[in-house]
Structure 1
Amino acid sequence: MNMQKRNGGSPGLSKLTLGTVQLGMPYGIHNREGMPSEESSFELLKYAWEGGVSSYDTASAYGLSEIILGKFFNGKQPLITSKIHLKPEPHADGNQIERTMRGLIESSLERLGMRSVPILMLHNTDVMEHFGNHITASFRKMRHEGLIGQAGISVGVNTEAEYRILWDYLRDETYEAVQLPMNVLDHRPLVNGCLDMLTGAGKTVFVRSVFLQGLLYMKDEELPAKLEEARLPLAALRELSERYGVPLPQMAVSFIRDLPGVHSLVIGAETKEQIKDNLVLIEGPAIPERLREEIALRFREVPEKVVTPLMWK
């Protein structure tokens, strides 16, 4: 399959970005396969690459993921987005933060076998409240030096408090790429105007958690007690899927894929079959406008506990 690129966004960006956390560690509430072997990971990456996937998402916190990508893509030129996690000392100054960031970036470059990370994002946004200006200045310097191609921010939990901290930084021209969680049950970046703002600012927007870490696939009897509140919205999704004759996975993908300003969907996989299915979904049909309107209306305010994986623990 020769996957078409999205209009706009970063050069070399495919509509499907393969999330690779699963290649470095066990991940996901609905993960049935576990972490694949290195050989299996290479087979997955080969299948995705030959299927037209040119964009890959990783992070220094994803176990062996960067190492697996570095070994496989030796000599190739994928669009890799990686992320760094910062834990500055309470009174850290700009020089200390710069040294820390430089060390983290250089470690990622070594694992990836690259001279420059195409897109490098901040993974934990809480540090922006007290260190945002220093972090932003360091990102600008790293970009100027060519250690990274673009700087970005990975929105964590979509809460009002997080957006209050991030809003001005998300608009800052330093950050050319933004990743955020969004799906048919979690509309917070739509409701609060964030997606519109990012679109107007010309940012490259990646959306992850399209299947809410697999929760959208779970049957009632599979739901853990702590996610009992998900029962009704999941039943409503299944009812919409049946009434409109649109498979739930296609509904989930098309609803997000076709939002103005969304450039690529970050979706992980543990098997080649899942990648094949996701390639079909990413090229699948649009959903009826009436269905889109019903989704927007019925799931505008799903409880935070259901749509925030951090709260499932």
Structure 2
Amino acid sequence: MGKRRTSWGLGTAQLGMNDGILNQVGKPSETIALEILRQAGTLGLDCLDTASGHVDSEELIGRFNQELVASGESLPQIVSKLPSLQARHIDKSILLQVVRDSVTASLARLHRTAIDVYLLHDPSDLRSFGGRVITALQQVKQEGLVKRIGVSVYTRREAEFALGWGCLDAIQIPINIMDHRFLQGDLLKKLAAEMDVYARSIFLQGLVLMAPEEVPSHLAIAREPLAKFRRLCKELNRTPCDVAISFVRDLEGIHRIIIRCESPAQLQQMMTFAHSPKLSPDVMTRIRCLFRNLQMGTFVTNRIPKET
């Protein structure tokens, strides 16, 4: 499998709500949020990641899209997500209409005629309703309301199950320097062979960037791994943000990386690191040996809300 050029997308959940362990500023003002969106395009991020449940974020992106159309600029790709159907106890007889209504509501908020990538936000919907949710996604794709379909997952088992469908175009997975679950065996290779792989949670909701002494008590188990990570970064003479970004970027099989920020300055810094020198094979191996059994992603998502 050859290494494809990694592209970059902006996660927008934090533009419409307070989100993330390390969020210091809360929900940004609309002025700052729009500035972040403008800068994302300037810096080469070609995709905006949102969700139907993030109404404020979708509406903000919609206003940004109108601004781009008015100025004759090209539009970014949009990734959005279908809210959990299983959790809402939808009757299967109206399943297709519920999916279609969710898509059209997002399109209205986004001021778009089609969503580029539409994902199941709840991976359990891969199994729910006897597979009819995937059939509904295929139908709205056929109707031209969405261009590509897929799923956002949290676990290896969910990703493995997604592979079995054979009709999904994209999958979004959590992966970072302290969460190597998807690097075990050849799972990432198999995923990349069948669909585009979007990496999210590359900072583990900000935990990866925290100093050990800043870690809250309910996540105290992360302090020792963070101390090891800081020592490695010091040895490499690179910052934790730089190494965290470079590690995911240099993995084989990642098509697009979704990054999140709180300010234009933070986004500028992150994208500077996106062009940092590659980590050597030796360093990549050392990182995988240091943290391969950590499964910090599972630990974190069991103690704070799942990243959306």
TM-score scaled to structure 1, two decimals?
0.88
Cα distance in structure 2, aligned partners of 1:214 and 1:63:
23
Deviation at 1:96, TM superposition (A): 2.1
3-state SS of the aligned residue for 1:179? strand
Q: Which residue, 152, 169, 172 being the options, matches 2:162?
A: 169
Letter in 2 for 1:82: S
- Name 1:109's counterpart in structure 2: 107
Q: Which residue, 135, 138, 144 being the options, matches 1:137?
A: 135
3-state SS of the aligned residue for 1:86? coil
Letter in 1 for 2:126: M
Q: Which residue, 171, 174, 191 being the options, matches 1:178?
A: 171
Answering whether residue 292 of structure 2 is matched by residue 295 of structure 1, we say: no
Deviation at 1:54, TM superposition (A): 1.4
Q: Which residue, 239, 251, 265 being the options, matches 1:273?
A: 265
Give runs of aligned pairs for residues 76-155 of structure 1, distance below 5 A: 76-88=74-86, 92-93=91-92, 95-131=93-129, 133-155=131-153
Are the equivalent residues in 2 in contact too, given 1:57–1:266 (CA < 8 A)?
yes
Answering whether residue 277 of structure 2 is matched by residue 285 of structure 1, we say: yes
Are the equivalent residues in 2 in contact too, given 1:24–1:65 (CA < 8 A)?
yes
Deviation at 1:304, TM superposition (A): 4.5
3-state SS of the aligned residue for 2:199? strand
Are the equivalent residues in 1 in contact too, given 2:179–2:297 (CA < 8 A)?
no
Deviation at 1:132, TM superposition (A): 5.6
Are the equivalent residues in 2 in contact too, given 1:258–1:286 (CA < 8 A)?
yes
Deviation at 1:270, TM superposition (A): 1.3
Letter in 2 for 1:7: R
Greater shift after overlay, 296-305 or 66-75? 296-305
Deviation at 1:62, TM superposition (A): 2.2
Are the equivalent residues in 1 in contact too, given 2:179–2:295 (CA < 8 A)?
no
Cα distance in structure 2, aligned partners of 1:166 and 1:209:
16
Are the equivalent residues in 1 in contact too, given 2:13–2:57 (CA < 8 A)?
yes
- Name 1:257's counterpart in structure 2: 249
3-state SS of the aligned residue for 2:127? helix
- Name 1:224's counterpart in structure 2: 216
Q: Which residue, 2, 7, 19 being the options, matches 2:4?
A: 7
Cα 1:213–1:262 change in 2 (3 A) is same
3-state SS of the aligned residue for 1:180? strand
Cα distance in structure 2, aligned partners of 1:166 and 1:96:
27
Are the equivalent residues in 1 in contact too, given 2:81–2:118 (CA < 8 A)?
yes
Deviation digits for residues 20-78 of structure 1 (CA, Å, limit 9, x no counterpart)? 11111111110111111111111111111122221110111224000000101122421
Cα 1:270–1:304 change in 2 (3 A) is closer
Deviation digits for residues 174-199 of structure 1 (CA, Å, limit 9, x no counterpart)? 21011110001000011153211112
Letter in 2 for 1:68: L
Cα distance in structure 2, aligned partners of 1:132 and 1:213:
33
Cα distance in structure 2, aligned partners of 1:119 and 1:189:
22
Deviation at 1:285, TM superposition (A): 1.1
Please list every run of 5 or more consecutive structure 1 residues that lacks an aligned counterpart in the other structure.
Answer: 1-5, 9-13
Letter in 1 for 2:165: D
Cα distance in structure 2, aligned partners of 1:208 and 1:70:
22
3-state SS of the aligned residue for 1:311? coil
Answering whether residue 181 of structure 2 is matched by residue 188 of structure 1, we say: yes
Letter in 2 for 1:92: D
- Name 1:64's counterpart in structure 2: 56
Are the equivalent residues in 1 in contact too, given 2:151–2:172 (CA < 8 A)?
yes
Give the aligned length.
296
3-state SS of the aligned residue for 2:293? coil
3-state SS of the aligned residue for 2:150? strand
Deviation at 1:245, TM superposition (A): 2.2
Cα distance in structure 2, aligned partners of 1:36 and 1:19:
14
Deviation digits for residues 143-165 of structure 1 (CA, Å, limit 9, x no counterpart)? 1000000001101x32x5xx1x5
Deviation at 1:130, TM superposition (A): 2.8
Are the equivalent residues in 2 in contact too, given 1:305–1:312 (CA < 8 A)?
no
